[in-house]
Each structure stands twice: as C-alpha cells, then as structure tokens.
Amino acid sequence: MFSNRKVSGTRWLAALFVLLCAIAIPLVVAAQGEGGGSYEPPLYGTFWSLFPPLVAIILALITKEVFSSLFFGVLIGGVLWAGGANPAVYDDAGEVVWQSGNIFMGTLNHIIHDGFLAQLTDGWNIGIIIFLAVLGMIVVMMAHVGGSAAFGAWAGKRVKTRTGGILSLMLFHLFIFIDDYFACLTVGNVMRPVTDKVRISRAKLAYCIDATAAPICILAPISTWAAAVASYVPDDYAGDIDGLQMFILAIPFNFYAILTVVMVLSLALLKFDYGPMATHELNAATNGDLYTTPDRPYANAEEKAVDEKGKVVDLIAPILVLIVACVLGMIYTGGFFDSGAAGDGYMDFRLAFSNADAAVGLVTGCLVAIVVTILYYLVRRLLSLRDLTKLVPDGLNAMGSPILILTFAWTLKAMTDSLGSSQFVSEAMQGPAQSLESILPAIVFLVAVFIAFSTGTSWGTYGILIPIVVTVFGNSEPTLLIIGVAACLAGGVCGDHCSPISDTTIMASAGAQCNHINHVNTQLPYAATVAAFSFVMYIIAGFMRSVVILPIAVVLFIGLMFVVRKFFGKSVPVSVGR
C-alpha cells in the first residue's frame, strides 16, 4: 500500500521543518491555557483550527506519501486540542469520562476516542466503508468471470480513439448522477478496460472521474447533493423559496462545476494536455505505460487468469442491478414507499430524495447487488463456492488502501472540528460582509475553496457557510443571494476537488486504480485554471446579476482553452496502434 518512491533530503528537511513549526509554536501558546469547567482548547476558533489539515496537505505534496502525512495531521490536531491545562472528555450528561493534565495522554485519548473510534462507529462512515468493501468484491468477481475483459474487448472494437474513450466515460457518467461516491467507483471500474485499450493514463482517467463526479452531482436537481444543500438552509429563513428551489436557481451560476465539465470536453476534443498530466498522457500514448511513476500499486491487479466464457452481460447485469438497487435503497430510506400521512398514496420522488440517507441507501443497494451477482454467476456456472472463498478476501484487500486513507481523513476532520474551525470561519465572514456586497460572492468562493481544501469536505463546507451566506444576503437582492449560494457551492466542489485528503478525490483514485498523489498532482493545474477563471466570473456576476453571464463565461472559457493549448499545451496522439 505504501509508496516506494524515494524522497530527497531536501523534501524531508522541508517536511521536518513544517512538522516542528506545527508542534512547537502552538505549544507555546497553549501553555497559557487554564483548565476548569467545560474544556475548550486555548486555540479554539482561531486560524490554528485549520492548521492540522494544512500541514497534512503540505506534507503529502512534499513527500508524495499520503498515509504518514495524514497521521501527522491527526497528531498535530490532537496536540493542539490537548494543549490546555485540563483536557477532558464529557459524556452526554456532562459527566467527565476522563481528565488529564498530561498533554501526551490528552492527545492520545482525544485521537482515539474523538478521532478513530468516533469515526469508525459513525453510521454514515460505516455505510461508506461497507459500500467500498462490497463494491470491491463485486469488481473482483466481474474480473474473475471474464466480464471486465469481455466488456473491454467489446468496447475496444467501437472506441478507437482516446477522445472517444473520454467522451464514452462522460456519457456513462450522465447516468450515474445520483451520488458522487457511487459515480467515482462505478464509472472507474466499468470504463477502466475501455480507457486502458486506448492508452489513457490512469492519472487522466482519475481526473476525468473526479471532474465529472461531484460537478455533475452538484448540477443535478435529483441527487444526494441537492438534498444535502437544501437541508443546510436555515429553518428560520424568511425568503420566498425553499432550500431545494434555492439549489436549482443557483445551478446557472455554479461556474466551477459547469466549466470543469467544459474543460474535460475541451481537453478531449482539442486533443491536448498541459502540466504534469501531459507527461503521463504522452508516456501512456507512446509507450503504453499507464502509470508513468515507479509506484503502481494496481499494475498486476488484472494479470490473473479469467474465465474465457465471460460475456459483456456479465459486467453489465451486475452494474445495472447495483444502480437500480442503490437508487431504490436511497428513496426507500427517504420514505418513498411509505403511505402518506392521510393514506393518500406514496411520497413525492423529489421529496424522497431530499429525505434520503445516502449511506444507508448505498449499503442496502450494494448488499442486494452482491447477493444477486453471486446467484447470477452461480447459475451461469462462472463461479463456484470455492472461488468465493478466494474472491471475497481479494475484494476486501483491493479496497484496503482507500478505506484506510478515508479513515485517516475522517479523523483529521474530527480534529479540525474539535478546534472550532466553523466558529473561526463564521466570525471571519461576518465582518466585511456589508461593505463588500457586490464582490462578496467572489470572496465567498475563495473562502469555500480554502475551507474545503483544508478539511477535505465540500458538504462540511456547506454546513458552515450556507447558513452564513443566507444570513448575510438575506436583505439583499434575491439574485445576489442565489449568486452567493452558487459561489459557496462552487467553491466547496473546487476545494474538495483539489484536496489530497478529500474522500471523493481518494475514491476517484481508487476507481481509476491510480496512485493517489499522482492523481492530486496532475489534477491541480486543471482545477486551478478553472478556479481562477471562476473567481473572475463571480466578481463580474456580483455586478451583472443576470443568468446571461453563463453563456458568456462558457464562450470565454473555451477561448481560454485555445490560448492554453497554443502556449502551454502538448498534443497527444488521437489513436494508438496495438
């Protein structure tokens, strides 16, 4: 699981310097804290609340190794929290569970109790882990029976170019718009044989998956994202539109999501890449090396013998069952199949999605799917009970790395929350709000990018910022409120898209079977391009306040792509011989 890449002495010195600063400076401040009462760390609600994830991100980018980087981020968060005189943990009744004046024991207990154990017993997180594990089993089974190989051969006869491979991936993604986690893993595992055939690098595949997962979900009125965003609008908001209507009205102003999709199309149709991605793509197209870097954890994953009796339907059938079962599972948790209060029929489909518990729905769907898949393969005589005893552990092992990364990332988020990151952001946003009304959407976008990048979560960013944005713009022109909400949504997707500790970024790497840091490094220049352009458009939108700005933005961005292609782009062969 761990990278074999050697890190230079300079990088290790830089990493050590960051680590020493992260531990030494806060401890000096924390030494002034006084205990007693309900414990609150001395650095609570300050900039230091975002310091642990920033250190983890910097270390990951310097060392190219994500596990130890996340661990150090978690450790620093624990030290910052336990730096007061009397760190303690309280139960729901307010009774002290433990209390210690020792920073070491305070750090250890906080990391274990409020970190790893709390995250691994959280219902949502457990649901995602189960979903990952079961999907890993299904993928391994599909490969073993020959379904993946058959689909790759079938698609290889029809998709002849690299452009066709990317467009096929995007087309398939349009049918998986319900949830970004689901899309990252399903699209990656279905389309990987196709993109491998036309020599699209794993880094480019991971980018295409990541760039069409959350951005498409945040543009879909019926998705888990729409339901989450609607739920973050304060109950006491006195406006004329509800949360879901606000989400829908914000879609035309969600520049980052829309322009990210435009960028993927532009790169495919204009046939160029730039930055580190160009190196990966040229190496894949000319040499057939899909990984480029020495670390290729999945390079031998599909070299095992497969059943030659496998057919395309052996991959399509389980995927269709998975999609249908997950959608039904989500609307079931939202009460779609329950009778109305007056017994007058079923709940509205849109309302069911708004009320859905995505984690429970995905777990329900994937458990149904794996049972159906096993029975289907047994009936087709492609699988035996002895095969199952080997494939189930193989499927779990395949998802071991992303599950471990997610666990560390969730724990790091818990450390950040315990240091009062939401309070810090809320206080920072309230100050300049009234005096900067017209350019506030652009500021909201930047703040959302920073929070999502630092914490690795767009939904957490929305939970912090949307109530603030609705309050700040509550007395402004309604269109400006919508633009402000859209800027928040776009910034959350952007920061989440760029962050090495984001769960969707991790899952995109897993779905593409790509080295995680390679995915982050190659994706950053593309995401930064769209982010910078979106920031400018939010400045203009704050003054223009009209949906007419969307077609203008799209046309100008396409023009920018032609400029980038001319001065920075590297052409990649359209088709490859085999």
Rounded Cα distance between 500 and 296, Å, is: 18
Instruction: Give the model's pLDDT for residue 350.
Output: 65
Check whether 88 has a pLDDT greater than 60: no
Rounded Cα distance between 260 and 561, Å, is: 12
For residue 296, what are the contacts with CB-CB under 8 A and spacing of at least 6?
A: 515
In our burial notation (b when 16+ CB lie closer than 10 A, e otherwise), range 402-425 reads: bbebbbbbbbbbbbbbbbbbbebb
Rounded Cα distance between 263 and 273, Å, is: 11
pLDDT mean over 547-556: 93
Instruction: Give the model's pLDDT for residue 263.
Output: 94
pLDDT band at 172 (very low <50, low <70, confident <90, very high): confident
pLDDT mean over 481-508: 88
Q: Are strands 88-90 and 96-99 parallel, antiparallel or unpaired?
A: antiparallel
6 vs 130: which has the higher pLDDT: 130
Check whether 487 has a pLDDT greater than 90: yes
Mean pLDDT score across all residues of the chain: 77
Lowest mean pLDDT of 57-61, 92-96, 163-167, 175-179, name the range.
Answer: 92-96
> Of the spans 30-44, 327-341, 492-506, which averages the highest pLDDT?
492-506
Q: Identify whether the C-beta of residue 292 lies closer than 8 Å to the C-beta of residue 280.
A: yes
Q: Is the dihedral of CA 156, 159, 162, 165 positive or negative?
A: negative
pLDDT band at 217 (very low <50, low <70, confident <90, very high): confident
Rounded Cα distance between 170 and 200, Å, is: 14
Check whether 200 has a pLDDT greater than 70: yes
Count, residues in the chain: 578
Lowest mean pLDDT of 26-30, 90-94, 217-221, 547-551, name the range.
Answer: 26-30
Rounded Cα distance between 507 and 181, Å, is: 7
Instruction: Give the model's pLDDT for residue 319.
Output: 79
pLDDT band at 2 (very low <50, low <70, confident <90, very high): very low
DSSP 176-211: --S-HHHHHHHHHHHHHHHHHHTT--HHHHHHHHHH
How many CA atoms are closer than 13 Å to the CA of 352, on its beta-carbon side? 19
Neighbours of 543 (CB within 10 A): 11
Lowest mean pLDDT of 36-40, 231-235, 287-291, 505-509, name the range.
Answer: 36-40
User: In a 3-state reduction of DSSP, which class is residue 273?
Assistant: strand
Query: Domain extents for the chain?
Result: 9-121, 123-296+306-410+419-573
What ranges in 274-357 are assigned the alpha helix state H?
276-287, 313-333, 349-355
Q: Tens digits of per-residue pLDDT, 90-131?
A: 556 666 555 555 677 777 878 888 888 888 888 777 877 887
Q: Are strands 272-273 and 96-99 parallel, antiparallel or unpaired?
A: unpaired
Instruction: Give the model's pLDDT for residue 552.
Output: 94
> Of the spans 60-64, 165-169, 220-224, 527-531, which averages the highest pLDDT?
527-531
**Residue written as token pair 């580190």:** 276
Instruction: Give the model's pLDDT for residue 206.
Output: 92
Check whether 381 has a pLDDT greater than 70: yes
Neighbours of 507 (CB within 10 A): 28
Crossing angle for the helix pair 516-544 and 276-287, to the nearest 10 degrees: 130
Residue 228 CA, distance from chain mean position: 15
Rounded Cα distance between 69 and 82, Å, is: 20
Instruction: Give the model's pLDDT for residue 5.
Output: 40
Q: Tens digits of per-residue pLDDT, 417-443?
A: 888 877 776 666 665 555 567 788 898
Rounded Cα distance between 321 and 315, Å, is: 10
Which of left, alpha, beta for 292 (phi over 0: left; psi -120 to 50: alpha)? Answer: left
pLDDT mean over 520-538: 94
Check whether 468 has a pLDDT greater than 50: yes
Q: Tens digits of per-residue pLDDT, 251-275?
A: 999 999 999 999 999 999 998 999 9
For residue 507, what are the contacts with CB-CB under 8 A and spacing of at least 6?
A: 132, 181, 184, 185, 402
Rounded Cα distance between 565 and 244, Å, is: 39
| Radius of gyration for the alpha carbons in the chain, expressed in angstroms and rounded | 24
Instruction: Tell the burial category of 340 from Cβ atoms under 10 Å away from its Cβ (0-12, 13-18, 19+).
Output: exposed
Q: Distances in Å between the alpha carbon of 490 and those of 232, 257, 444, 462?
A: 15, 6, 10, 10
474 vs 538: which has the higher pLDDT: 538
